A and B are shown apart, each in its own frame.
Chain A
Amino acid sequence: MSTSSVSEWITRQREQRTLQDWIQDLGPFVMLFGLIVVFTLTTDQFMSEGNLLDNIAKNAVTLLLVALAGTFPILQQSIDLSVESIVLLTGVVTVVAIAELGLGLLAIPIAIAVGMLAGLFNGLVFTKLKIPSFLVTLGTLSVMAGVGKIITGGSTITFRNNAIRAISNGEVFGIPNLVLWGLLIYIGTIILAFRTKFGRYCFALGESERVVELAGAEVDRYKIYPFVLSGLLCGIAGVLLTLRISSASPNIGSGLLLPSIAAIVMGGTALTGGVGGPHRTILGVLVIAVLNNGMNLLAVGSFVQEIILGLVVVAAVALSIDRDKIDVVK
């Protein structure tokens, strides 16, 4: 190709965005918008401020944090299945530290540290013992839930401390603190993903560990970090969740794992790693939150809701997945 045709070639490359590319990028937006239109037309309450903020936004925050937590391990082509157990464990630790140990605000850093340690444990077993992360975290999913439940003694523990509760329950200019925390952390994860070496290596490792290794990076270290971050974010989720309801039951957090993975994938982060990112995960979270809320408003039975949610997830993934990048569908 002569030099004169290079610019033509470049133009051609730029034009090569197909319908498929647009669907991949816009699919979650379209789905979210579609759901909003449908529920606005079919229900009276959907568009009310109370419903949007108190029901959808507040409920979505826990799922958002857990989904953001899960995004990073998936970006680097591993997975953290223990997220909901870390929420349980750290939630229980928060309440026990406040109610039984009287530690007050100190409970928060302690609980978050417990979350990070749990994540560090996952990461160390994964990298040092070279066990696939889905097996490691499948194990710790059970272990950490067990530990948390033992601490509760099998019953719900509660605390009374309105000052601490306000961290989660208060509001600023009419916006619930919970929602603000969620947004703050959301922005934080985007910065981590796109402005730090950590984020860059997540994407790179998601595509090829070997290439990253030969480029001289300390691969093991960067493979552990996403799990520690996951523990940290789940810890924050555990804290905010228990502060909001000022109690911790032996089954808080349960049922978060599947919707969180669904949200991540729907947002556009492929389970095969390397593409997507936390900025997109929020779309999947909102789709699930709106869908849940709308179906509740329409008084759809909870069993039927499960079926619909599952179908929506499959449909969203089918629309958005880039099959060119997957050698074998497993």
Chain B
Amino acid sequence: MTALLRAEGVAKAFGGVQALQDCTVEVEQGTIAGLIGPNGSGKTTLFNIMTGYERVDSGDVYLGDKKITNRPPQRVFALGIGRTFQLTRIFPRLTVLENMLIAAQHGGGRARNPLAKAGGNAERRRAIELLEFTGIADHAAALADTLSYGQRKLLELSYVLVADPAIVLLDEPAGGVNPSLIQHLAGRIRELNEAGKTFLIVEHNMDFVMSLCGHVTVLDYGTVVASGTPAIIRSDPRVLDAYLGITEEDDDASPG
């Protein structure tokens, strides 16, 4: 079976820093995959390359059979890769509903009348449904600026889902979010996955990753040091080494 999303032998340097080298990561259709690694190991850089925000030095990115290396972000998004950012990027001076309608515009081609009211009834209904699903529909008319940090994460996930991407890349969805909201988020991701949505998640919260992901890839210094099921990753000495710098018999590899 071919992977839905595959980065193959990707290398990227920022000046003298080799952020990624010969990095190959695959995400199978219909799975929740995890991407972990210490700070600076290249996780976000890989996300940026997969979504067109950075260009590769060498290597390729494929969506299904289609080569999407170095396509600009809007093309990548239109092809079906949605993403959220580590530092949540919402549109603070638009309402929550307006935030949802931005991504809703990419479908339908250019024939649409640009002066038509933003968001037809169907688009609005769909946006409200998604906000209900993520649990922030009560705030639909509020400025996005007024949302809490966790609600912003939910909004970003919601507006990415509006375009119904084939795969969603989440960059630290649980970072800085309170525990009950993390549980809520995990539940939503699992529910979406059961409905067929594929996920790739970068996250430092090990409980979150290990409970949610069927397959976990570990990056260190820009290369893949381990890859497998959570059970395998937990006990892999190379993972402990990557996180702790020394190999120890601790069975809990939580980051410092």
Partners in one complex: no
**Which chain B residues have a beta carbon within 8 Å of chain A's beta carbons?**
none
Binding site for B on A (CB under 8 A): none
